[in-house]
Amino acid sequence: MITSAGLVLAGTFAAVASLPLVFAAELGFNVAFGVLLDTLAVRSALVTALTVDAGRWMWWPGRLFRERGASGVLVEEGKVPALAGG
């Protein structure tokens, strides 16, 4: 989803690069190139590599969610909190 949005954004700035104004063409090309670099290299390769390197530490916010529960109430491991008003 993010990759396709990055490709659409890069295409939009590539269209700006086709304008006859030199400043607009340079700006459009540079931004389109940067968005493509971020979309293809950073998100596809670097984030995946960092996830593999970090292992289970990459998902530390999930631990906080499990400990506190969705409502923010402290929950013991393996127990589901009762719903309020139910």
pLDDT digits (tens, 9 = 90+) for 20-34: 999 999 999 999 999
pLDDT band at 47; cut points 50, 70, 90: confident
Per-residue pLDDT reduced to its tens digit, 69-80: 555 555 555 555
pLDDT band at 54; cut points 50, 70, 90: confident
> Residue 51 and residue 47: Cα distance in Å, rounded?
6
pLDDT recorded at residue 56:
73
Residue 35 near residue 14, CB atoms below 8 Å: no
> Structure tokens of 69?
């529960």
Sequence ranges of the domains in the chain: 2-68
